[in-house]
C-alpha cells in the first residue's frame, strides 16, 4: 500500500468505499441492472478509469458534475467515479422541466453533464442557457456532434492519479437539490462523512448483515436512493436496480434473487399489496421492509407483516439536509406506536424547541432541530438560507413535532406546507410561482389534498383577473410548460377570492379543511 492510499484509507471517503469492498470481496456481485452484472473489482476498475478520464478533462478538485439519469448502472459509476476524482456530483431529478434544469445546472456551477440519450433534445434546447457546461456525456446513442458517448470514456487511455491530501472527509461529495419556500430549489451540500456516516447509522440500527441483498426501485437521484447504494456497498452487499417501479417486477425480483431488503415509499408498498396473486410469491427471504418519505398507514403495515412474515418493518424519517435519516421506528414498536416516526438514529442528536430555542415539555408541539456528523455543510451559494437554517447552533428542520413520555416522536405538521405525493416533495410556493406566470391569473394558492393512491395530490385555488376565462385543463397544461409533471395540480378550483386573515395572509388551513379525498 502506497503512502497516498494509506492516507486516503484513513478517511470516510465515498470513493474509498468501493476500493475497500473490492479489496475484501473482489468477486462478489455488487450490482445487477437488467442484463448487466458487475462485481466489486470490476466496479472499482470502471470507477477509477472514469475518475482518470475526468482528471484528464482539466477539471479542478471540487468542480461539479451533473447527472440526469433514470435508475441505471451508469448512475452508480458516475457517482463513485466523481467522488474518487475529488469532484462533486449533482444528481438532478430527470422529471424536471427545461427551465428547472437550467436553474439547477447554473446555480450548482456544473461543468460536465452526464445524461441519458432521451434527454439530449432537452439539453440541446437549453445549451445557450447553461454556458458553464463544458462537456455533455451521453449514455446511449449520441445525436449531437458536440456530445461525447459514455462508453468512449472506457476506450480511452486515461489513468487515475491519486488525490492524497487534496480531498478530506469533510469536503463536499454531492449537492442534492431540495425545493425552497421561495419557489427556487436549494442545493444541500453533503460531505463524504455526511453520507457515509448516515449509511453506517442505518447498517447498525437496521442490523444489516454483510453480503445482504437489496432492491432499489426508488429514484437514485433522491438522497434516499443514494443512501441505499452506500448502505449496500458498506456491507459488501448485492443491489438489484430497477429502472422504473413495476409491482409485479418487484415481486419477481424478490423471488428470483432471494432479496433480503427493500425500501419503498408507502404509495409503492400499497401498489405491491394490490397485486392479486401476491400470496403466490415466495417472499420469505425478505428480512427488512423499509419505508419513509410519508406516514405509512397502519393498514399497510399490517398487510406487509402478513405477506412478508420474516421481515421487520422499518419506518424512517428525515430530510435531504440530514443525509437523510434522522429518526426510525423499529419493528418492535411499529404497531403499538404506529403513528410515530420513532426515535433519533445513531449519531443524530435531536431537540424539540420553541421559537426561542427552549426545549418544550413532553407532549407539547415544537420544531425538531438536529446536530451531528450527518448534518449538511451548507446550502450552496446561499449564505442567508444557511445562516437561517443553523440559528442557535442546530439545524432547523422546519418540522413541527411532539414527543411522548417514552421518547417517541410524532410529526404534527410538515415544514412550510410541503406536499408529499408518491414520495416526491412538492412545495406549494414553487407551483404558485408557475401559476402566477399566466397573464389571466390574479392569485393562486396551492395545497395538498388526500389521495388514496399517492398519499397526497396537488390542488390549486385560482382567482382570475377581471374578464379572463380559463379552464381547469388550461391551467394544468400551463403548469406542464414550467414544472415537472408530478408537480402539476390534479384539481383546480376557481374562486372569487382567497380566504385571508386580518393581516392579509392566505389561510391555507381553511382551503385544506374543506377538502375531501381524491379517489
**pLDDT tens track for 138-151:** 999 999 888 999 99
Indicate the pairing of strand 288-291 with strand 312-318: parallel
- Domain 245-416 - what CATH class? alpha beta
233: Cα separation from own chain's centroid: 18
Instruction: Give residue 503's pLDDT.
Output: 47
Average pLDDT over residues 317-329: 96
pLDDT tens profile 344-363 = 999 999 999 998 999 999 99
- Edge to edge, what strands does the sheet with 213-216 contain? 36-39, 29-33, 238-241, 213-216, 261-263, 288-291, 312-318, 325-329, 343-344
Whole-structure pTM value: 0.86
Higher pLDDT: 43 or 180? It is 43
pLDDT tens profile 412-470 = 766 667 788 998 878 787 898 899 899 999 889 999 999 988 999 999 999 999 899 99
Residue 378: its H or E element: strand 378-379
Instruction: Say if residue 124 is exposed, middle or buried (CB neighbours under 10 Å; 0-12, 13-18, 19+).
Output: middle
DSSP string for residues in 122-174:
HHHHTGGG-TT--EEEEES---STTSEEGGGGGGS-------TTT--TTSEEE
In this prediction, residue 475 has a pLDDT band, given cuts at 50, 70 and 90, of very high
In this prediction, residue 1 has a pLDDT band, given cuts at 50, 70 and 90, of very low
CATH fit for domain 3-180, picks 3.30.1360.10, 3.40.50.10090, 3.40.190.10, 3.40.50.12780: 3.40.50.12780
β-partners of residue 213 are 238
Do 3-180 and 418-513 have matching folds?
no
Task: For residues 231 and 233, give the distance between their C-alpha atoms in angstroms, rounded to a whole number.
Answer: 6
Average pLDDT over residues 241-257: 97
Number of residues in the chain: 519
User: Which DSSP symbol is given to 518?
Assistant: B
- How many Cβ atoms are within 10 Å of 333's Cβ, its own excluded? 17
- How many Cβ atoms are within 10 Å of 17's Cβ, its own excluded? 22
Domain ranges across the chain = 3-180, 245-416, 418-513
SS3 percent helix, strand, coil of the chain, rounded to 5, is 35, 25, 40
> What fold is seen in the domain 418-513?
GMP Synthetase; Chain A, domain 3 (3.30.300)
Amino acid at each position: 500500500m502506497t503512502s497516498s492510499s494509506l492516507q486516503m484509507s484513513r478517511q470516510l471517503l465515498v470513493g474509498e468505499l468501493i476500493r475497500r469492498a473490492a479489496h475484501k470481496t473482489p468477486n462478489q456481485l455488487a450490482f445487477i441492472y437488467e442484463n448487466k452484472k458487475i462485481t466489486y473489482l470490476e466496479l472499482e476498475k470502471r470507477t477509477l478509469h472514469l475518475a482518470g478520464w475526468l482528471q484528464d478533462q482539466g477539471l479542478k478538485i471540487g468542480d461539479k458534475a451533473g447527472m440526469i439519469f433514470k435508475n441505471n448502472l451508469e448512475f452508480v459509476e458516475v457517482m463513485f467515479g466523481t467522488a474518487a476524482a475529488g469532484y462533486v456530483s449533482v444528481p438532478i431529478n430527470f422529471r424536471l422541466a427545461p427551465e428547472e434544469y437550467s436553474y439547477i445546472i447554473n446555480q450548482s456551477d456544473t461543468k460536465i453533464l452526464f445524461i441519458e440519450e432521451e434527454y439530449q433534445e432537452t439539453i440541446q434546447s437549453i445549451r445557450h442557457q447553461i454556458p458553464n457546461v463544458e462537456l455533455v456525456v451521453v449514455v446511449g446513442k449520441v445525436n449531437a456532434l458536440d456530445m461525447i458517448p459514455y462508453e468512449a470514456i472506457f476506450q480511452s487511455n486515461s489513468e487515475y492519479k491519486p488525490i492524497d491530501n487534496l480531498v478530506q472527509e469533510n469536503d463536499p461529495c454531492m449537492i442534492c437539490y431540495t425545493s425552497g419556500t421561495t419557489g427556487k430549489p436549494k442545493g444541500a451540500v453533503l460531505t463524504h462523512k455526511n453520507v457515509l456516516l448516515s449509511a453506517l447509522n442505518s447498517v447498525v440500527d437496521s442490523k444489516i448483515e454483510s453480503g445482504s441483498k437489496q432492491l432499489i426501485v426508488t429514484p437514485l437521484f433522491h438522497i434516499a436512493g443514494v443512501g441505499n447504494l452506500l448502505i449496500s456497498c458498506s456491507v459488501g452487499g448485492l443491489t438489484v436496480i430497477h429502472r422504473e417501479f413495476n409491482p409485479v417486477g418487484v415481486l419477481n425480483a424478490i423471488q428470483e434473487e432471494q432479496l433480503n431488503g427493500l425500501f419503498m415509499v408507502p404509495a409503492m408498498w400499497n401498489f405491491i399489496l394490490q397485486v392479486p396473486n401476491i400470496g403466490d410469491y415466495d417472499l420469505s427471504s425478505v428480512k427488512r421492509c423499509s419505508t419513509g418519505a410519508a406516514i405509512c398507514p397502519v393498514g399497510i403495515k399490517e398487510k406487509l407483516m402478513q405477506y412478508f412474515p420474516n421481515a421487520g418493518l422499518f419506518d424512517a424519517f428525515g430530510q435531504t439536509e440530514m443525509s437523510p435519516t434522522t429518526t426510525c421506528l423499529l419493528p418492535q414498536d411499529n404497531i403499538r406506536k404506529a403513528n410515530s416516526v420513532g426515535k433519533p438514529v445513531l449519531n443524530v442528536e435531536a431537540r424539540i424547541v420553541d421559537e426561542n430555542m427552549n426545549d418544550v415539555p413532553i407532549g407539547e408541539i415544537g420544531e425538531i432541530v438536529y446536530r451531528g456528523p450527518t448534518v449538511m455543510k451548507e446550502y450552496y451559494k446561499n449564505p442567508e438560507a444557511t445562516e437561517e437554517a443553523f440559528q442557535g447552533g442546530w439545524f432547523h428542520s422546519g418540522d413541527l413535532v411532539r414527543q411522548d413520555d417514552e421518547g417517541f416522536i410524532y410529526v404534527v405538521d410538515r415544514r412550510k406546507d410541503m406536499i408529499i405525493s408518491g414520495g416526491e416533495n412538492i412545495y406549494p410556493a414553487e407551483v404558485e410561482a408557475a401559476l402566477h406566470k399566466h397573464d389571466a391569473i390574479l392569485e393562486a394558492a396551492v395545497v395538498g389534498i388526500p389521495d388514496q393512491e399517492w398519499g397526497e395530490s396537488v390542488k390549486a385555488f385560482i382567482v382570475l383577473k377581471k374578464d379572463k376565462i380559463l379552464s381547469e385543463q388550461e391551467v394544468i397544461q400551463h403548469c406542464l410548460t414550467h414544472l415537472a409533471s408530478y408537480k402539476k395540480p390534479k384539481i383546480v378550483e376557481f374562486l372569487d377570492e382567497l380566504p385571508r386573515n386580518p393581516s392579509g395572509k392566505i389561510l391555507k388551513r381553511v382551503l385544506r379543511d374543506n377538502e375531501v379525498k381524491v379517489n
